[in-house]
Structure 1
Amino acid sequence: MSDFLSKLKGIFVLQTPLDVKGAEPASKPAATSVTPVAVIPTNGKVSDKFYDILFGAMETHNQEGFDYLEYKKSLQTLSKMPMDEQTRYFSAFAAAQAMGITSQKLNESAQFYLNILKSEDSKFQESVSLQRQKQIGSKEKAITDLDATMKAKSEQIVRLTQEIKTHQDDMEKMKAEISDAVIKIETTLSDFHATYNDLIGQIGQDVENMKKYLK
């Protein structure tokens, strides 16, 4: 860690991380065609790791001469003295005025660093968006695809089930038709044999009678 970064951490109060209450999420996940995976809301907390990142950006763009950071250092030093907030801000500004610094320049300098931090926020949001797309978006698409596949297969199961029932009905119908056909064929064959036997019986009897009577 650079000496400047160490000084920055001394200027700004860095104690036990506190929960940041009421923080609104910077961006909302994009809606999907299926029910998205539940996002568990969490309260953000101050992190040394992210302070280091943000302080690093401020260090990289540190303005020359006396600026807001030096004024902030003066405020931090005066915070150890028994004075109210207004007196502390005014006393730190009196020292700045001795160096030709105006309140406008201090405000402009503070705004400069705010813009630097906003830029870091934008870059972080972009990075998070890419990670969200990589780690969440692709899986949500896979879930959508699987959902569509399951629906298609469910529809296919319904269709195949109906087709099987139709085939079963057709099979039962053909079994009944076969049974009827067997009965008709067997009845026809029995009737034929009965008629055949009756006829050959008559002819046989005539043959016997001709042998008996026609000598």
Structure 2
Amino acid sequence: MAEQETSSGLEGFGKKLLNLFIKEEPTTGKPITAFPQNPPNPVSVPITPASPVPAATVREPTASSAVPEGAVDTKFVDHFAAVLSKANQPGPDYFEFRETLKNLSNLNLSEDQQYQAAWASFKAMGGSANVAGLVSSANQYLTALNNDQQAFSKTVEEALTEKVGGLSNEQKQLQSENEQLAKQMLEIQRKMDANNERLARIGGELNEQRQKITQNQSNYEATLAVFVGQIKRDLLKLGEYIK
């Protein structure tokens, strides 16, 4: 496959990649879908699978936070175009084979015939005469995509740690503050209830104490009147009886 060097060429490669690996549904308005990912091999040659992403980087969706279904994003198409362009080697390889296979998909051929015809065309354009060479080039692309996936998963983990982790810490802090405020509010409410009970008792005590004081004042006045009256009477009698 020819090297894609310029940014404009890379953009065109992205569109080409989108056309080769993703197809539009015949019915208008249907979403774009990928071509079959596991077609039967015309020749039995072991294909080396790309290394899986480490399990630690895979997050299972929880019941409270289900992961939405993904959709093909043109920005990632352009990204993968760059990844595959860097992994490309000069000369016909898997990419040309896929391009030929895509062109044959419009013909009225069975899938087996499509792969056989694409293989014959691939060899005719100067590609490897041994299917193992074609498989090897396809695995190179898989390895490049797998390495990119692992790098992307790492950035996702870092983003989760930085952004989601920061928000999670803030959430815990606010929840803790709310718990403390709730305790304070409960204590304030208890204090208010105690004060209201005391206020109710004070109302009765005020009347009682007012009556006691008023009664005491009345007794004082009555007793004072006895002493004052007696002294005044004595003074009156002294003036009357003693000259």
Query: How does 1:40-119 map onto structure 2 within 5 Å?
Result: 42-94=68-120, 95-96=122-123, 100-119=128-147
Distance in 1 between residues matched to 2:14 and 2:180, nearest whole Å: 61
Query: How does 1:1-215 map onto structure 2 within 5 Å?
Result: 1-2=8-9, 5=13, 8-9=16-17, 12-16=20-24, 17-18=31-32, 27-28=59-60, 39=65, 42-94=68-120, 95-96=122-123, 100-133=128-161, 136-214=164-242
Q: What is the TM-score of this pair, normalised by structure 2?
A: 0.65
Distance in 2 between residues matched to 1:184 and 1:7, nearest whole Å: 101
Which residue identity does 1:162 align to in structure 2? R
Which residue identity does 1:96 align to in structure 2? K
Contact 2:23/2:33 (<8 A) preserved: no
Deviation at 1:5, TM superposition (A): 2.0
Distance in 2 between residues matched to 1:56 and 1:72, nearest whole Å: 17
Deviation at 1:139, TM superposition (A): 3.4
Which 10-residue stretch deviates more, 160-169 or 139-148?
Answer: 139-148
Q: What is the TM-score of this pair, normalised by structure 1?
A: 0.72
Deviation at 1:59, TM superposition (A): 0.7
Unpaired runs of 5+ in structure 2? 1-7, 25-30, 35-57
- Identity between Structure 1 and Structure 2 (%): 22
Contact 1:11/1:73 (<8 A) preserved: no
Distance in 2 between residues matched to 1:122 and 1:167, nearest whole Å: 65
Aligned to 1:44, what secondary structure does the other structure show?
Answer: coil
* RMSD of equivalent CA atoms: 3.5
Contact 2:83/2:144 (<8 A) preserved: yes
CA gap 1:186/1:99 in 2 versus in 1, 3 angstroms: closer
Distance in 2 between residues matched to 1:214 and 1:45, nearest whole Å: 129
Deviation at 1:79, TM superposition (A): 3.7
CA gap 1:19/1:154 in 2 versus in 1, 3 angstroms: farther
Aligned to 1:63, what secondary structure does the other structure show?
Answer: coil
Distance in 1 between residues matched to 2:183 and 2:146, nearest whole Å: 51
Which 10-residue stretch deviates more, 135-144 or 105-114?
Answer: 135-144
Distance in 1 between residues matched to 2:239 and 2:15, nearest whole Å: 147
Which 10-residue stretch deviates more, 7-16 or 99-108?
Answer: 7-16
Superimposed CA distance per residue, residues 157-185 of structure 1 (whole angstroms, 9 cap, x where no aligned partner): 12112112223333444454444333323
CA gap 1:80/1:187 in 2 versus in 1, 3 angstroms: closer
Which residue identity does 2:20 align to in structure 1? F
Superimposed CA distance per residue, residues 25-64 of structure 1 (whole angstroms, 9 cap, x where no aligned partner): x6346x8xxxx9x657543333333222112101111124
Distance in 2 between residues matched to 1:9 and 1:45, nearest whole Å: 16
Distance in 1 between residues matched to 2:216 and 2:96, nearest whole Å: 119
Which residue in 2 is equivalent to 1:23?
A: none
Distance in 1 between residues matched to 2:188 and 2:106, nearest whole Å: 82
- How many residue pairs match? The answer is 204
Distance in 1 between residues matched to 2:237 and 2:201, nearest whole Å: 53
